[in-house]
A and B are shown apart, each in its own frame.
Chain A
Amino acid sequence: MQSDAKKSQSASTHKTRFWHDPAKRALLFQGLLILGVFSVVGLIVQNTLQNLESRGITTGFDFLSQRAGFGIVQSLVEYTESSSYGQTFLVGLMNTILVSAMGIIAATIIGFIMGVARLSNNWLISKIASAYVEIFRNIPLLLQIFFWYFAVLRGLPSPRQSFEPLDNMYLNVRGLFMPEPIYGVGFGWVVLTFMAAVAGVFVLARWSKKRQDKTGQSFPVFWTSIALVIGLPLIVYWLMGSPLTWENPELRGFNFKGGMTIIPELAALWVALSIYTAAFIAEIVRSGIEAISKGQTEAAEALGLSSTKVLRLVVIPQSVRIIIPPLTSQYLNLIKNSSLATAIGYPDLVSVFAGTTLNQTGQAIEVIFMTMLVYLTLSLLVSSFMNWFNNRMALVER
């Protein structure tokens, strides 16, 4: 565009003014933009400093090492009331990552099931799946979180009248209480065997693909892998003399003590996030599968593949390429949406750090800045991972 304009300019005989020259005009515009941005930012900084001074708010990141002095219901790292604000940041971050990871896994599973179910030959199943999608994606997530938390989980019985769905597992208004595994001596070997088995599965998959490429013979990788991953650790576990005991939750006073707990806030947030995001993922999966031309399915059927094999070997590998980019943005949405935790008091980053810590220290700028930085970094990490995955799956064009 610029080069065209330059040509026409050199062709014209009379001298043009500088604002008719696109190159110079571009420079002028950009100069003005920089000037504008800098003056706005400068004005904001100046106002902020003035306001902070007149309100007596300190600046800087010193507050991170001060004593926080408030408790947090759930923490993956060690945390007590005497821990520092820096530690509240860490606890919040871990809790955000925990619920996001749980949500991503559950939403992907439900979403894929519902997406495939929408294309089912069975009229009833496909209608149920589309009703699911249309209902849950058109209702605000916050409302769904409230529903699960205030209407469903608050309706559970008190600890004394807990449901006991399985032995030593208690469900009540305070959460889900489960036995906690206590690892004895030698359990490390079981873990090691498990990791070795997983590595073995990768090697096996490579080898079987090579062999199939060479000789055309297939190898039952799936069942062998399952046997390896589950069987080997079990054998080692038995050899080491079962080095695992369980600590059961017990009712003491008004609540359960011991064992593992899933707090109701986590459960409500997890269920709501998974169900809401799964509705979007189902749509993505459906359109990804529908985008594969019918010829592919027909060709696969003509080769005599069964309908599950058609889906597994022909359709899904191709549709994954279409599905990944929008799926990535759904994952990012889920991570961002996990910040709604603050509405029901699940101790995530926004609730603990941008909520309580901000209120106690008053250092809004530093706290909000750090919170935003975390979400930007998480977004960047997830999208670069999915880009890497997408590039690996991309069609190699010849």
Chain B
Amino acid sequence: MTGETLVSDSSKVTDKMLPDLPPPANSTGVIGWMRANLFSNITNTIMTLLAIYILYILVVPSVNWALLTADWIGDSRDACTSGGACWVFIYNRFDQFMYGFYPEAERWRIDLTFFLLVIQVAWLVIPKLPRKGLVSAFVLFVYPIIAYYLLYGGSFGLNLVETHKWGGLSLTLILAIVGIVAALPFGVLLALGRRSEMPIVKSFCVVYIEFWRGIPLITVLFMASVMLPLFVPEEVDFDKLLRAMIGIVLFQSAYMAEVVRGGLQAIPKGQYEAAQALGLNYWKMMGLVVLPQALKMMIPGIVNTFIALFKDTSLVLIIGLFDLLAIVQAGLSDPDWLGYSVEGYAFVALMFWMFCFSMSKYSQHLEKHFHTGHGSR
């Protein structure tokens, strides 16, 4: 039929391609996207509507409570009049939540310590900056000494600040960072031992790793606070923070060892053999050839264990240290501020979440970046 019309009406004959018709209006744009992703069939439509309803009853009151009808600034609970969240509680105690009972005049020392750390970590994280090896050596070996004298003081004209005054977010960060940095060398040694061909060394490392991985951190902290003083001569007096740190490092080194082992296993056998063929001995082979490659691949794993440890440091409240969660918990029992537990927990949750989420995104980014080998992704 069409052929006939074309022949009879020569004015409609054309040698050019007709332009494509636009796709049907209901398959493009916002409507098309919604049809494909939200309302593609009956089940999907029901699920979408249900989800919207659940979101509506969850999100709207929360936003109302936390932002729209909240009180932000004031001196006491009398400022909380509008019926929503009372952030005045956080606002008033913010310094304490950050620094614990660290004397106010000395708080610049904590600021400086973390400022230095941020600069160094930024240097390591930004890909373009040079001399990463030197900076990481500085972070691992020189910086801890500086940080110790800055925070604890007692010399160089700085006042001594006892560790029972430390607290808040800064204590949480200190515990997590010390835990991970001090556990790294032990972890490397344990992982090497576990892959060693010497039977006694190997079994020692396996037993050590599996023991610490099999027990909860709480029992480790209990052990560190109750049993550690029994293990040393009576004259030696451990302070509570140091005991917790020792417990955390013993515990964490086992987890670190497994991360390192994963990295070592990812190095192809050819690398070991090539290094041996060059006549390198064991430590040179490991130190110059295998570990530098393995460490790069381990970074995402290390970041992940760091996240786990960072969350786990909140357990130190059980042995009486005032980390971020503990200090907020203590603030909640202040008779002037009773009844604001939701605000307190929301604040702590937000702090932890920001740290953990950004670190986990960074580690995912690294995983993709390092994923240069085989596989379809």
Contact = CB atoms under 8 A, between A and B. Distances in A.
Chain A bound to chain B: yes
Interface of A: 1-2, 4, 26, 29-30, 33-34, 37, 44, 47-48, 50-52, 54, 120-125, 128, 134-135, 137-143, 146-147, 150-151, 154, 332, 336-337, 339-340, 342-343, 350, 354, 358, 364-365, 368, 371-372, 375-376, 379-380
A121 B352 contact: no
Contacts of B40: 121-122
A135 B350 CA distance: 10
Contacts of B360: 138
Interface in B199-242: 199-201, 204, 211, 213-219, 222-223, 226-227, 229-234
Given A138-B353, A358-B226, A30 B200 contact: yes
27 contacts: A30-B198, A30-B199, A47-B232, A48-B230, A50-B233, A54-B234, A125-B51, A128-B51, A138-B307, A138-B352, A139-B353, A139-B356, A142-B315, A143-B348, A143-B352, A146-B341, A150-B332, A336-B215, A337-B216, A340-B218, A343-B317, A350-B216, A364-B227, A368-B219, A368-B227, A371-B219, A379-B214
Contacts of A138: 307, 311, 352-353, 356-357, 360
Interface in B345-376: 345, 348-349, 352-353, 356-357, 360
The 10 A-B pairs with the shortest beta carbon distances in the complex, nearest first, are: A138-B356, A336-B216, A123-B37, A140-B311, A30-B200, A339-B216, A379-B214, A364-B226, A140-B314, A376-B214
B52 interface: yes
B55 interface: yes
Contacts of B231: 44, 47-48
A53 B345 CA distance: 45
B200 A365 contact: no
Nearest to B226: A364
A141 B312 CA distance: 8
Given A142-B314, A336-B215, A376-B214, A50 B51 contact: no
Interface string B286-318: 000000000000000000000100011011011
Contacts, number: 148
Task: Give the interface size bracket for B toward A.
Answer: 35 or more
Contact of A150 (B51, B54, B341): B341
Contacts of A376: 211, 214-215
Q: Give the secondary structure class of A's interface.
A: helix
Contacts of B223: 368, 372
B311 A380 contact: no
Given A125-B47, A350-B218, A34 B349 contact: no
Nearest to A336: B216
A290 B201 CA distance: 39
B352 A368 contact: no
A47 B234 CA distance: 8
Given A51-B234, A139-B349, A372-B215, 19 more contacts: A1-B197, A29-B198, A30-B198, A30-B201, A47-B232, A48-B230, A54-B234, A125-B47, A128-B54, A135-B353, A138-B352, A140-B314, A143-B314, A147-B342, A336-B215, A358-B222, A364-B227, A368-B223, A375-B216
Given A1-B197, A128-B51, A368-B222, A151 B352 contact: no
B62 interface: no
A314 to B, nearest CB: 19
A379 B213 CA distance: 9
Contacts of A48: 230-231
Contacts of A124: 37-38, 47-48, 51-52
A339 B276 CA distance: 47
Contacts of B342: 147, 151
B325 interface: yes
A339 B218 contact: yes
A4 B197 CA distance: 14
A151 B345 contact: yes
Contacts of B198: 26, 29-30
Interface of B: 37-38, 40, 44, 47-48, 51-52, 54-55, 197-201, 204, 211, 213-219, 222-223, 226-227, 229-234, 276, 307, 311-312, 314-315, 317-318, 325, 329, 332, 341-342, 345, 348-349, 352-353, 356-357, 360
B148 to A, nearest CB: 25
Given A34-B200, A134-B357, A380-B214, A365 B233 contact: no
A122 B45 CA distance: 9
B204 A37 contact: yes
A346 B98 CA distance: 30
A122 B38 contact: yes
Contacts of B51: 122, 124-125, 128
Given A121-B40, A124-B48, A372-B219, A365 B353 contact: no
A316 B350 CA distance: 35
A50 B229 CA distance: 12
Nearest to B313: A140
Contacts of A365: 227, 230
Contacts of A332: 214
A4 B281 CA distance: 12
A376 B40 CA distance: 50
Nearest to B344: A151
B341 A142 contact: no
Nearest to A376: B214
B353 A340 contact: no
A339 B349 contact: no
B371 to A, nearest CB: 14
B253 to A, nearest CB: 16
A37 B37 CA distance: 62
Contacts of B230: 47-48, 51-52, 364-365
A180 B204 CA distance: 52
Contacts of A368: 219, 222-223, 226-227
A113 B153 CA distance: 53
B110 to A, nearest CB: 22
A354 B222 contact: yes
B357 A142 contact: no
A375 B315 contact: no
B280 to A, nearest CB: 12
Contacts of B200: 30, 33-34
Contact of A354 (B38, B47, B199, B219): B219
